[in-house]
Chain A
Amino acid sequence: MSQIGVDTLRKEAWDKVTGAAKYNSDRLESNMLNARILTSPYAHALIKSIDTSKALKSDGVLAVITGDYLPVLTGSIIEDRPPIARDKVRYFGEPVAMVVAHSEQEVMKATKLIEVDYEPLPVVNSINQSISSQAPLIHENIGKYFCPDTTVQPRAGSNLLDHVRIRKGDMDRGWNESDIIIDLKTFLPQSDHLAMETRNAVAEILPDGRVVISTSSQAPFAVKEEISKIFGIAEGDIIVNVPYVGGAFGGKATVDLEFLAYIASRAVGGRKVRIANSREEDISSSPSKVGTESTVKMGATNEGIIKALEATYFVDCGAYAGTGPRMAKAIASDCTGPYNIENVHCDSYSVYTNHSYVTSYRGFGHVAFTFAMERAMDKLANSLNMDPLDIRMKNAISEGDTLATQAKITLSNTGDLKACILKLKESINWEEGNRIVEPNGMIRAKGIGCFWKTSNSPINAASGVAITLNSDGSINLNFGATEIGPGMKTTIAQILAEKMKMDIDNIHVFMEVDTQLSPKHWKTVASMTTFMVGNAVIKAAEDLMEQLKSLAAIVLACTPEELDVKGQRVYLKDDPDRGIQFKKLVQGYEYPGGSAIWGPIIGRGTYIMKHLVPLDLKTGKGKTGVSWTLGAQGVEIEYDPIRYTYRLLKAATAIDVGKVINPKTARGLIMGGMSMGLGLGTREEFIYSDNGMLENTSLRTYKLIHFGENPEYIVDFIETPQIDGPFGARGLAEYGILAIPGALANAISLAVGMDFDKLPISPELIWKTKTGGKYDSL
């Protein structure tokens, strides 16, 4: 039976329903010390002094650490962030000191005894304030920081970290050919990843200097590399282990608590120290999702063909660069959405503010431009009195077009957008109309949007797979992608089982990642695991079969070419009854007479991204990924025009994933993405006070979608193969989120009859927009 397109149960399913699954937060050992941070109550302030004397005298305390101990700067793009603040704090929640004590209780008590004297500074509380000429400087040394990413250009004497330019075609021509011009401004606030397992890490320095870190990370190899680079430790002396991860969504791709765990361990002579965020710290202290503002101007003909796009994006990176500039670049490079636009002018700016610093978040910035483009598309359709779905069909990207970065579009590297739109048209019953007034006065409205996204990965992103075998002929599969939830360990096992033509139950997956044992995988991010590790595991299977056939050829007195592999057996193609089982080969073959040949068989496979080109600094010409998975989404709501409230009725996705490896897993990922998109659309946002304090740092005040608030989900897959993908598969895990906020805003705007270009859209916002908020009475 084929393993591709089959609902194979997750390898770890029974671990996860019995409590047997161990996460890093479950690593609670009696010899562990506990570390905890004291965080800044100010968004921007000078640290005048820190008095640690009382904390040091508190019971059970072994160390109180400030930024003066091991003063380093960290950052994968710009090295601008001290793990513990020094001299000044730049956001509410920033670590200012760390205590190490025996027990959790002791460390909590002692943290409160640290006395910090601050001198508050003027706060940069918005993008507008950040770019104003009178803005206070958040980083006095902005022009002097070391930038590991050599393409970023922080501007000295400003709060501007980077400016990415896209210049394609001829804008004058584009505007001349346009009969109509659409303008809009959008605003998407910062928000949180809200993975259920808060970030946590354990570090220990062994007597010979080896550093052992276990962490809830999406990027164990990045942890190893960053710790090595920042603290000058040989990479081989650092071992990073990651068990199951309790959700990540991009938030665990940045090295964060691992720095603190290492510093804490070093401060107490290398003893094993655990640090775990409280929920409040996870929201306010660890990195969050970017906030974005945009101005978009789009020109089109009276027939609805887009001729020009001028877009400006500002990315609120918060107090430190984090991964912000890379997302700003991703926004610029894919800014057209999956539409063919020949003339494009896009500027994407990354700015510092006194907000939470940022890292990758599901969609890697693509939600921001998708929201702006899909609102623009609806406004265009509205202005031209055209059907919103038709106008998207007319401009849908297709083979032969080019991206804003001038990279070529093929059917293989994108998929069939028109097929997705048509599938959506059917699934959301578009024909019945997109705004229906029900007999009870409720308004049922539908909004749609199209999306695409690529990996925006480094040009050398790579994956490896190692396979060993057991004496019963079963396989051990080991690779460096962490199991953060999307079921990657099972998907890769399915691909291997398919290639080996064997029962997947006989493939045993190493569920953890250990950087000393597992072949490197760049990071478990960018929806790239199936594609990258999938390609690597195919090569590993081929390598394995070649070895098995070579050995079997000796035993069976034939050539390897005459042999085939199936059901953990190597056999003659022309005489399948004549063959030999894996179990007699995998540890070496033993002749009946007694002598033996070969030895344990080990399979290996690798993959590295090919033909990626960094963006040209002046024109943005380049190639940022191997493929752009695309699709169309719709949201149906029921709006109450009396109360200004709405209910979510349906959310639908039609996506071209090339090939579905595991349908139920794929459907679950798309639904989960839609759920997060609806969260962004309806409620999720960081609320900063006038002085830059983050006000909603708990799950009581930062609301997520709960059971029962979800709409009915519709998911359809189109399968236009990606030629270089494993069995034709493209990435899909992040994609459910992308156009949902835009589609929701389109539905609400249509229902209410007013424009909603900022998120989230609460009933209160609708009421204020509709009435001016003036006529409230009790």
Chain B
Amino acid sequence: MIKIAKATVLNLHINGEYREVLVKPSDTLLYTLRNLLGLTGAKPGCENGDCGACTVLIDNRPIKSCLILTVETIGKRILTIEGLKDVPIQKSFVENWGFQCGYCTSGFLMVCHSLAQIHPNANDHTIEEWLQSNLCRCTGYEEIENAIKSILTGTVRT
């Protein structure tokens, strides 16, 4: 077991790169990403785990980065929106008008991307279970539903 009692330089694996960063034991991953690494794609919306705007993937699973300490991610693979390069869900969100203000979008994209990797044939129930973790205040969710379904089935639902 690693014990970290004070600010320590960690070597984190983020978006396929190793990044050295000075981390205090109390720092959340959201804080480290945004304030120390300039990865501002993950957004603070509640810092209480309720809105999902800060969602990132840790070892391919969605995690709300406001609810995990950076020190807990040692040795794990962290993927943020900045590390998503031309994956199908991005194009699908664009083409399905899956956002308006865009503030919740990074979080939704990370959940959707992970869902598509883990459950490529997810049914409605599974989709709902996964996407209820996040909040969008602008859309009526129909656009987001169309976006995720279009990559799961391979066709755009109109």
A19, B39: Cβ atoms closer than 8 Å: yes
Q: Which of B1-43 contact A (CB under 8 A)?
A: 26, 31, 34-35, 38-43
A23, B43: Cβ atoms closer than 8 Å: yes
Which chain B residue has the least Cβ–Cβ distance from A27? B40
Asked if A195 meets B140 with Cβ closer than 8 Å, knowing A22-B40, A485-B102, the reply is: no
**How far, in angstroms, from A104 to B32 measured CA to CA in the complex?**
13
Minimal beta-carbon separation of A368 from chain B (angstroms): 21
Asked if A196 meets B51 with Cβ closer than 8 Å, knowing A674-B140, A704-B137, the reply is: yes
Contact check: which of B46, B47, B91, B100 meets A485 at CB < 8 Å? B100
**How far, in angstroms, from A20 to B141 measured CA to CA in the complex?**
23
Asked if A18 meets B136 with Cβ closer than 8 Å, knowing A707-B144, A710-B142, the reply is: no
Contact check: which of B41, B128, B136, B142 meets A19 at CB < 8 Å? B41
Which chain A residue has the least Cβ–Cβ distance from B106? A19
Which chain B residue has the least Cβ–Cβ distance from A674? B140
A28 interface residue, CB < 8 Å from B?
Answer: yes
The interface bits of chain A over 246-262 (1 if a CB of B lies within 8 angstroms of the residue's CB, else 0) are 11110000000000000
A708, B131: Cβ atoms closer than 8 Å: yes
Asked if A196 meets B128 with Cβ closer than 8 Å, knowing A14-B94, A245-B101, the reply is: no
B102, A198: Cβ atoms closer than 8 Å: no
Interface size on B, residues (CB 8 A): 53
Q: Which of A651-681 contact B (CB under 8 A)?
A: 664-665, 667-669, 671-672, 674-676
Please give, as numbers and ranges, the residues of chain B lying within 8 Å of A196 by CB-CB distance. Answer: 43, 45, 51, 53, 101, 103-104, 135-138
**How far, in angstroms, from A28 to B37 measured CA to CA in the complex?**
10
B59 interface residue, CB < 8 Å from A?
Answer: no
Which chain A residue has the least Cβ–Cβ distance from B85? A18
The interface bits of chain B over 60-97 (1 if a CB of A lies within 8 angstroms of the residue's CB, else 0) are 00000000000000000000111010000011011101
**How far, in angstroms, from A195 to B137 measured CA to CA in the complex?**
6
Contact check: which of A18, A25, A664, A710 meets B97 at CB < 8 Å? A664
The interface bits of chain A over 1-29 (1 if a CB of B lies within 8 angstroms of the residue's CB, else 0) are 00000000110111111111111011010
A713 interface residue, CB < 8 Å from B?
Answer: yes
Please give, as numbers and ranges, the residues of chain A lying within 8 Å of B131 by CB-CB distance. Answer: 707-708
**How far, in angstroms, from A10 to B100 measured CA to CA in the complex?**
9
Please give, as numbers and ranges, the residues of chain B lying within 8 Å of A249 by CB-CB distance. Answer: 137
Which chain B residue has the least Cβ–Cβ distance from A103? B35
Which chain A residue has the least Cβ–Cβ distance from B143? A668
A25, B44: Cβ atoms closer than 8 Å: yes
B150 interface residue, CB < 8 Å from A?
Answer: no
**How far, in angstroms, from A279 to B103 measured CA to CA in the complex?**
14
B121 interface residue, CB < 8 Å from A?
Answer: no
**How far, in angstroms, from A690 to B106 measured CA to CA in the complex?**
40
Q: Give the residue among A196, A248, A487, A704 with the most B Cβ atoms within 10 A.
A: A196
A484 interface residue, CB < 8 Å from B?
Answer: yes
Which chain B residue has the least Cβ–Cβ distance from A15? B102
Please give, as numbers and ranges, the residues of chain B lying within 8 Å of A278 by CB-CB distance. Answer: 47
B97, A16: Cβ atoms closer than 8 Å: no
Please give, as numbers and ranges, the residues of chain B lying within 8 Å of A486 by CB-CB distance. Answer: 100
A17, B142: Cβ atoms closer than 8 Å: no
A16, B99: Cβ atoms closer than 8 Å: yes
A699 interface residue, CB < 8 Å from B?
Answer: yes
B105, A28: Cβ atoms closer than 8 Å: no
A699, B103: Cβ atoms closer than 8 Å: no
Please give, as numbers and ranges, the residues of chain B lying within 8 Å of A671 by CB-CB distance. Answer: 139-140, 142-143
A517 interface residue, CB < 8 Å from B?
Answer: no
Please give, as numbers and ranges, the residues of chain B lying within 8 Å of A104 by CB-CB distance. Answer: 31, 35
Minimal beta-carbon separation of B105 from chain A (angstroms): 5
B34, A28: Cβ atoms closer than 8 Å: yes
B139, A668: Cβ atoms closer than 8 Å: yes
Minimal beta-carbon separation of B148 from chain A (angstroms): 9
Specify the main secondary structure of chain B where it touches its partner. loop
B123 interface residue, CB < 8 Å from A?
Answer: no
**How far, in angstroms, from A434 to B18 measured CA to CA in the complex?**
62
Minimal beta-carbon separation of A683 from chain B (angstroms): 13
Asked if A18 meets B90 with Cβ closer than 8 Å, knowing A196-B51, A247-B103, A699-B48, the reply is: yes
B135, A668: Cβ atoms closer than 8 Å: no
Please give, as numbers and ranges, the residues of chain A lying within 8 Å of B93 by CB-CB distance. Answer: 17
**How far, in angstroms, from A720 to B3 measured CA to CA in the complex?**
69
**How far, in angstroms, from A704 to B44 measured CA to CA in the complex?**
17
Contact check: which of A19, A246, A248, A710 meets B140 at CB < 8 Å? A710
Specify the main secondary structure of chain A where it touches its partner. loop
B132, A706: Cβ atoms closer than 8 Å: yes
Contact check: which of A15, A105, A246, A487 meets B103 at CB < 8 Å? A246
A461 interface residue, CB < 8 Å from B?
Answer: no
Q: Give the residue among B46, B51, B53, B93 with the most A Cβ atoms within 10 A.
A: B46
A704, B135: Cβ atoms closer than 8 Å: yes
**How far, in angstroms, from A713 to B142 measured CA to CA in the complex?**
8
**How far, in angstroms, from A704 to B134 measured CA to CA in the complex?**
11
Please give, as numbers and ranges, the residues of chain A lying within 8 Å of B43 by CB-CB distance. Answer: 23, 25-26, 196-197, 246
**How far, in angstroms, from A198 to B38 measured CA to CA in the complex?**
19
Q: Give the residue among A19, A244, A664 with the most B Cβ atoms within 10 A.
A: A19
B82, A19: Cβ atoms closer than 8 Å: yes
B105, A198: Cβ atoms closer than 8 Å: no
B34, A26: Cβ atoms closer than 8 Å: yes
**How far, in angstroms, from A18 to B81 measured CA to CA in the complex?**
6
A194, B82: Cβ atoms closer than 8 Å: no
Which chain A residue has the least Cβ–Cβ distance from B104? A196
Please give, as numbers and ranges, the residues of chain A lying within 8 Å of B84 by CB-CB distance. Answer: 18-19
Please give, as numbers and ranges, the residues of chain A lying within 8 Å of B95 by CB-CB distance. Answer: 9
B102, A12: Cβ atoms closer than 8 Å: yes
Please give, as numbers and ranges, the residues of chain A lying within 8 Å of B53 by CB-CB distance. Answer: 196
B48, A484: Cβ atoms closer than 8 Å: no
Please give, as numbers and ranges, the residues of chain A lying within 8 Å of B31 by CB-CB distance. Answer: 104
Minimal beta-carbon separation of B44 from chain A (angstroms): 7
A675, B139: Cβ atoms closer than 8 Å: yes
**How far, in angstroms, from A247 to B80 measured CA to CA in the complex?**
22
Please give, as numbers and ranges, the residues of chain A lying within 8 Å of B82 by CB-CB distance. Answer: 18-19
Q: Give the residue among A10, A198, A246 with the most B Cβ atoms within 10 A.
A: A246
**How far, in angstroms, from A705 to B138 measured CA to CA in the complex?**
11
Please give, as numbers and ranges, the residues of chain A lying within 8 Å of B39 by CB-CB distance. Answer: 19
Which chain A residue has the least Cβ–Cβ distance from B87? A17
Minimal beta-carbon separation of B30 from chain A (angstroms): 12
**How far, in angstroms, from A17 to B95 measured CA to CA in the complex?**
11
Please give, as numbers and ranges, the residues of chain B lying within 8 Å of A665 by CB-CB distance. Answer: 97
Minimal beta-carbon separation of B52 from chain A (angstroms): 10
Please give, as numbers and ranges, the residues of chain A lying within 8 Å of B139 by CB-CB distance. Answer: 668, 671-672, 675
Minimal beta-carbon separation of B36 from chain A (angstroms): 9
A774 interface residue, CB < 8 Å from B?
Answer: no
B48, A28: Cβ atoms closer than 8 Å: no
Contact check: which of B41, B44, B132, B138 meets A247 at CB < 8 Å? B138
Which chain A residue has the least Cβ–Cβ distance from B98? A17
A279, B140: Cβ atoms closer than 8 Å: no
**How far, in angstroms, from A10 to B94 measured CA to CA in the complex?**
8
- Give me 27 A-to-B residue pairs in the complex whose CB atoms sit less than 8 angstroms apart, sorted by A's number: A10-B97, A15-B102, A17-B90, A17-B94, A17-B99, A17-B109, A18-B41, A18-B81, A18-B90, A19-B41, A19-B80, A21-B102, A28-B34, A28-B38, A28-B40, A196-B51, A196-B101, A196-B103, A197-B103, A247-B137, A248-B101, A486-B100, A665-B97, A671-B139, A700-B48, A707-B144, A707-B145
Interface residues of A (CB under 8 A from B): 9-10, 12-23, 25-26, 28, 104-105, 194-198, 244-249, 278-279, 484-487, 664-665, 667-669, 671-672, 674-676, 698-700, 704-708, 710, 713
Given contacts A17-B93, A18-B84, A195-B101, 20 further A-B contacts (CB under 8 A): A9-B94, A9-B95, A10-B94, A13-B94, A15-B102, A16-B105, A17-B94, A18-B41, A26-B40, A195-B137, A278-B47, A484-B101, A485-B138, A664-B97, A668-B138, A668-B139, A668-B143, A671-B139, A676-B137, A700-B50
Question: Which 7 residue pairs are nearest across A and B when measured between Cβ atoms?
Answer: A19-B41, A246-B103, A485-B101, A16-B102, A671-B140, A699-B50, A19-B81
